[in-house]
Amino acid sequence: MQDDIENMEQDNKEEVKLGEDELYAWLELRLHPLLIKAMHRLGFNEPTPIQKACIPAGAHQGKDVIGAAETGSGKTLAFGLPILQRLLEEREKTTRLHVEDEKAAEGSSTGGPLRALILTPTRELAKQVCDHLKEAAKFLGIHVVPIVGGLSMEKQERLLKKKPEIVVGTPGRLWELMSSGNQHLVELHSLSFFVLDEADRMIERGHFKEVQSIIEMLPLSNSSDEQTVKATSSCETVANLQIKKRQTFVFSATLALSANFRKKLKRGLSTSKTATADDLSSIEALSKQAGMKPNAEIVDLTNASILPEKLEESFIECSDDDKDANLYYILSVHGQGRTIVFCTSISALRHISSLLRTLGINVLTNHAQMQQRARMKVRTPFWSRLMVLQGAWTLIMFELLSIINCHTQVMFISTGVEGQRVNH
């Protein structure tokens, strides 16, 4: 058995060497020869930017990763390859230590304890992620299964009886099986990876109850730390013991991390085992709840990729006292009757609209405290005009709010008009 494994590894090294020029970009990431061969077989001749940024930190440095890149950028392999890399390395190390133990050497082909748990917001995404990982792990003897709603519990329990190393699922169905005591999902002493994929969508879809329950099920320690656990009464200390042994990956299509959160992440986040809906309303809170380790790798590739092709973005750095004057200048030079000004408060909106009317600029306002009839009177002709307008628009963020950035970009993409965005 050991000879067969060594021969297989040698064959794979030779095959990788044959395509060394073509696969140079993958070789730079120091991935296992079997993984490089899998990438070649799948037609991935070079890693994507998100993969280049995340794989070294996740696969070789053992870091937790918070990553953001547009949909279709290769995020699945950005966390999937580090998982497969580590499982392969551990299997080879175990095989070398047990060369005389045939049973141990054969263990990798029959599954084992759960090593990676991957959460996605939808069953479609779970299936997609599972298919990608299955293809990458096709000849590795590492098993991946999807656990999602819409399928019979009995069928999924049969899948879990095979003890797959990697489970990809939706929070609802995973928690349903975990709360019913499914052995493979509740015995998490060997869990090495916890992944939240498309975390921003997971928050939007209101999965916080199930996500929180699943996080609470993650082990605080393994058997080697039992004495240490008994010796301490601090839940926070106990939680940190397991955090050191588990890698956490949080990926999304958008990322808004405050400077304060980044500083806290460097020195280590405090963990809490209780949370509310408000607690899990942001990527920051979700990352903290999942137990991010200090010095986690933060990879944000959204700045260049999310901005639509026809949208130009500018920033004006000024004091609060100068905002009004700058706003009037922009409207006078670039407004041309086709401008939207976003505010984060109704008081700011009222201040701006009053000022602009005094300066002779026609203004329509729309906010939550207006009666519905008045809002529709403004909104209906405005949006109708927007849908048919050909030409440039100007959007001004008088006060910054991350969710507004998302809405304005979606508006420009869906309408296909040219425009410019100015951030105050």
Residues 169-214 pLDDT 10s: 999 999 999 999 999 999 998 999 999 998 888 877 667 788 889 9
Residues 6+ apart with CB under 8 A from 82: 54, 55, 58, 59, 247, 249
User: Which residue range is the domain that position 242 belongs to?
Assistant: 47-302
Summarize the confidence of residues 217-234 as an average pLDDT: 47
Residues 157 and 298 in one domain: yes
Q: What is the pLDDT of residue 232?
A: 35
Angle among Cα 15, 18, 24 to the nearest 5 degrees reads 100
In sequence order, the β-bridge partners of residue 114 are none
Q: Is the pLDDT of residue 38 over 50?
A: yes
CA–CA distance, 204 with 210 (Å, rounded to integer): 13
**Residue 380 in domain:** yes
Q: What is the pLDDT of residue 105?
A: 41
Residues 73 and 191 in one domain: yes
Q: What is the pLDDT of residue 314?
A: 81
- Lookup result for tokens 């008081």: 347
Residues 281 and 375 in one domain: no
Q: Is the pLDDT of residue 423 over 90?
A: no
**Residue 17 in domain:** no
Residues 231-265 pLDDT 10s: 333 334 333 444 447 899 999 887 767 677 777 77
**Residue 66 in domain:** yes
Count of CB atoms within 10 A of residue 172's CB? 15
**Residue 184 in domain:** yes
Q: What is the pLDDT of residue 195?
A: 96
**Residue 67 phi, psi (nearest 5):** -130, 145
**Residue 287 in domain:** yes
Last residue of a domain, one of 302, 327, 360: 302
Strand order in the sheet with 418-423: 311-315, 418-423, 392-397, 339-342
Residues 369-378 pLDDT 10s: 887 667 667 7
Residues 294 and 405 in one domain: no
Last residue of a domain, one of 302, 324, 346: 302
Residues 6+ apart with CB under 8 A from 274: none
Backbone Cα Rg of the chain: 26
Q: Give the side-chain half-sphere CA count within 13 A for 271.
A: 25
Query: Can you give the CATH number for the domain in which 225 is found?
Result: 3.40.50.300
Residues 220 and 273 in one domain: yes
Task: Give whole-number Cα distances, 338 to 113, 240, 333, 394, 395, in Å.
Answer: 60, 54, 12, 6, 9
CA–CA distance, 155 with 146 (Å, rounded to integer): 11
Q: What is the pLDDT of residue 167?
A: 98
Residues 86 and 60 in one domain: yes
Please list the helix, strand and coil fractions of the chain in percent, rounded to the nearest 5, in that order: 55, 10, 35
Pair of tokens at residue 273? 């085992």
CA–CA distance, 187 with 397 (Å, rounded to integer): 49
Residues 163 and 215 in one domain: yes
Cβ-defined contacts of 45-53 (< 8 Å, 24+):
47/74, 47/77, 48/73, 48/74, 48/77, 48/78, 49/73, 49/301, 50/74, 50/75, 50/78, 50/299, 50/301, 51/77, 51/78, 51/81, 52/25, 53/78, 53/297, 53/299, 53/301
Residues 287 and 317 in one domain: no
Angle among Cα 261, 263, 268 to the nearest 5 degrees reads 90
Last residue of a domain, one of 302, 332, 364: 302
**Residue 16 in domain:** no
Q: What is the pLDDT of residue 106?
A: 44
Task: Give whole-number Cα distances, 302 to 197, 245, 315, in Å.
Answer: 16, 30, 17
At position 199, the amino acid (one-letter code) is A
Task: Give whole-number Cα distances, 174 to 155, 158, 160, 304, in Å.
Answer: 14, 14, 11, 35
Confidence class for position 320, pLDDT limits 50, 70, 90: confident
**Residue 346 in domain:** yes
Residues 279 and 335 in one domain: no
Task: Give whole-number Cα distances, 162 to 53, 73, 116, 181, in Å.
Answer: 34, 32, 15, 16
Q: What is the pLDDT of residue 311?
A: 66
Summarize the confidence of residues 351-374 as an average pLDDT: 85
Residues 326 and 288 in one domain: no
Q: What is the pLDDT of residue 412?
A: 39
Q: Give the lowest-confidence range in 238-242, 284-288, 383-387.
A: 238-242
Q: Give the lowest-confidence range in 14-23, 117-126, 405-414.
A: 405-414
**Residue 402 in domain:** yes
- Lookup result for tokens 């990676």: 116
**Residue 220 phi, psi (nearest 5):** -85, -25
Question: Among residues 121, 21, 136, which one has the least CA distance to residue 79?
Answer: 136
More reliable by pLDDT, 197 or 273: 197
Task: Give alpha helix (H) positions in 19-101.
Answer: 24-27, 33-41, 49-55, 75-97
Pair of tokens at residue 239? 């939680």
* Per-chain mean pLDDT for the chain: 76
Residues 63 and 83 in one domain: yes
Q: What is the pLDDT of residue 262?
A: 76
Confidence class for position 309, pLDDT limits 50, 70, 90: low
Q: Is the pLDDT of residue 112 over 50?
A: yes
Residues 297 and 221 in one domain: yes
Q: Is the pLDDT of residue 104 over 50?
A: no
Q: How many domains does one find in the chain? A: 2
Q: What is the pLDDT of residue 35?
A: 95
The two most distant CA atoms of the chain are separated, in Å, by 89
Q: What is the pLDDT of residue 286?
A: 79
